[in-house]
Each structure stands twice: as C-alpha cells, then as structure tokens.
Amino acid sequence: MHSSAFRHALRVMITCIAGYILAKMIFTGHHSYWILMTIIIILKPAYSLTKEKNIDRLLGTIGGGIIGLLLLLFIKNEIAIFSLMVVCMLGTYTFVRMNYVVMVIFLTPYVLMLFHFLNMDIVDIAGERLVDTLIACVLAWIAMRFLFPSWERSTIRKNMLNVLEANLKYLNKLAAAMRKNNISAVEYKLVRKEVFVSTANLSAALHRMQSEPRSKQQHRVEIYELVVLNHVLSSNIASLYHSVEAEPSPLPSSYLIKLGRCISYLKEAILKISPEATIEEDAEKSPSVKGEENESISRQLEFIQKICADIRKIVFKMA
C-alpha cells in the first residue's frame, strides 16, 4: 500500500468492477462497455490529472455530440457525411497526443457518423454515449477522491529535497571555481541540468497540488515562495559562476567565507526536511588569499546569501 502504482492498479480494478456491476443493473444500451473504457482512459494516478481528464472528457463528449447530431440532422448527402467522418477520424488521431478535449470533440461525431452508416438511431446512440460517459466520470471522480487517494502533499517533500540538494551541488561547483580548480564544461552543465530538472519537477508538483481540494493542500503559499526563490537562486549562481570564471586569479578568502554561509544555510534546510539525508562534505581547504574585492561579485554573493537564508527560513517554517 506504500506503492502509488499498486494503489492506482487497485483503484482502477475496483472502479471497473463497480462500473461493470452498474452497467448490468442499469441498462444503458448495447454499448455499456463505454463505461469501462472511459474509466480506464480517464483514471490517472494523480488527482489533478484525473480531474483534468474528467472535465475534458465530459466537455468533449457534450460538444462533439451536439456537433455530430447537427451535422447528421442537416446534411442528408451520404458522400458529404462520409467525407466529414474521414475528417473527424483524421482530427481524432491528430490530436490524440496534443489536446485531449479537441480529440474527444472530433471522436464523438466520428462515432455517431459511423453508427449512422450502420442504420442505427443516432439520437439514442448520442444519449447512450453521454450517459455512459457521465457514469464513468462520476465513478472515476469518487474513486480518485475517496479510494486510496494519492495527494501531492505526500510526495512534494521529496521534490523539495531534490531541489535543495541540486542547488547545494551548484554552490559547491561555484566554490571550486572560486578556488580556480579545473572544472570541465560538461561537469558544470550536468550540475546545472540537475537544478533545472528538479526545479521543473517541484513546479509541476505545486501545479498539481493547486488542482486538489483546498483541505488537502499543505503549505501551498510557502512552496510557491520556495519555487520562486529557487529560480532566483539558480539564475544568480549561473551569473556569478561566469563572473568568477572571467577572473584571472583565485578570489579573496572573504568570498569563500560568504559562500560557505550560503552552503551552510542549504545544508540546514536539507537536514530539516530529511534528518537522515547524507550530505557530502567539502574536504578541500580554502587557500588564504588576500586581494581587492570586486564590487559586483560582492553584491551578488550578498544577494545569494540572503536568498539562501530566506529558503532556510521557509523550510523551517514548513517543518
């Protein structure tokens, strides 16, 4: 039960059984398999994805059903209807990966025109499809809401941890650059890529959380602030890294002291989220270098230090 994949499989199985029993108890027509098909299509592991698919399926079926009925009522030429059916078929498979609601809008008239050529009552078919879709959507929503629900609040902590760890590695690379250690372009780009990927995952998790019921959302405002601060932090680290790379000689020790405070803030935030997290310590000693400070680099370091302190503050507030 700790596996989200297992809970989703169990949820789909129970919902399909309920849909099958309901289809047998309430005669909705000769195509009641549409209930099971719709349940399998729209039921997703995350609540927000199921909700989005649910709305798209309902709107697409209603809109497509109205369009299909109007076309069949006002167009009597069989060649014209067949041509429109081919257009709807092409639209269905064109938008199947691009826009789900548009795909369903094309799919419904396509199905209605197909049954028209089988000499079936189109009004009954349209009503049956709408009822079956409605039953499936209601069952899917009930299952996602009450049957082993999977809320983002249970997984978003892992995304936050990944973001902080990625930024910590990014700061360590910046410290190495300040010591004038040789860092390859590939090594730097891999660390930067890890920051971008973890940030995107956290933003996506926050977006999914905002689609969930308000009662299930925890620390939504704080997580939003963390996402924003993380974007600002990573962009400033990238800017400062290139400024440091442009300097011909090792930078003053005072810079590394300031950067050490930033790293310390992120380490404290990581351990607050996950006390068992293993943090790789920097065993290399910083050389004692004196020199004139660059005003631009000093301001950037102070700003990064302030951002890291704010991130630590937000994490401690949530914890």
**What are the E-state strand segments in 174-237?**
none
The whole-angstrom separation of Cα 308 and Cα 11 is 41
**Token pair in block for residue 218:** 């925890």
Same domain, 259 and 177: yes
Q: pTM score, two decimals?
A: 0.71
Same domain, 79 and 215: no
Residue-level pLDDT, tens digit, the chain, 319 residues: 778 788 889 999 999 999 988 888 876 667 788 899 999 988 888 787 888 888 889 899 999 999 999 998 888 899 999 999 999 999 999 998 889 899 999 999 999 999 888 888 888 888 888 888 899 999 998 988 888 877 777 778 888 889 999 999 888 888 888 777 777 788 888 989 999 999 999 888 888 888 877 777 778 888 889 999 999 999 998 888 888 777 766 677 778 888 888 888 898 888 888 877 777 665 455 554 555 666 778 888 889 999 999 999 998 888 7
What pLDDT was estimated at residue 28? 63
Same domain, 309 and 168: yes
Q: Based on the structure, what is the number of domains in the chain?
A: 2
288: left (phi over 0), alpha (psi -120 to 50) or beta: beta
Same domain, 179 and 311: yes
Q: Are 172 and 188 in contact (CB under 8 A)?
A: no
The CB density around residue 277, as the number of other CB atoms within 10 Å, is 13
- Examine the fold and report which residue of 146, 172, 198 is the final residue of a domain before the chain moves on: 146
Same domain, 63 and 207: no
**Token pair in block for residue 221:** 């405002």
**Token pair in block for residue 28:** 């909705």
- Examine the fold and report which residue of 127, 146, 165 is the final residue of a domain before the chain moves on: 146
For residue 16, the number of C-alpha atoms closer than 13 Å in the C-beta half-sphere is 16
How distant is the alpha carbon of residue 174 from its chain centre? 29
Find, among 247, 235, 237, the residue nearest to 301 by Cα: 237
- Examine the fold and report which residue of 115, 146, 177 is the final residue of a domain before the chain moves on: 146
Same domain, 47 and 156: no
Same domain, 114 and 193: no
**Residue whose entry in the numeric block shows the structure tokens 């299952």:** 143
Cα distances (Å, whole numbers) of residue 215 to 37, 49, 146, 153, 211: 31, 18, 13, 11, 11
The CB density around residue 7, as the number of other CB atoms within 10 Å, is 16
The CB density around residue 219, as the number of other CB atoms within 10 Å, is 18
Same domain, 272 and 303: yes
Same domain, 98 and 247: no
Task: Determine the structural domain holding residue 72 and report its residue range.
Answer: 4-146
Complete DSSP assignment for 110-178: HHHHHHHTTT--HHHHHHHHHHHHHHHHHHHHHHHHHSS---GGGTHHHHHHHHHHHHHHHHHHHHHHH
Same domain, 187 and 291: yes
Q: Are 132 and 34 in contact (CB under 8 A)?
A: yes
The whole-angstrom separation of Cα 216 and Cα 152 is 9
The CB density around residue 3, as the number of other CB atoms within 10 Å, is 9
**Residue whose entry in the numeric block shows the structure tokens 């000693």:** 285
Same domain, 100 and 176: no
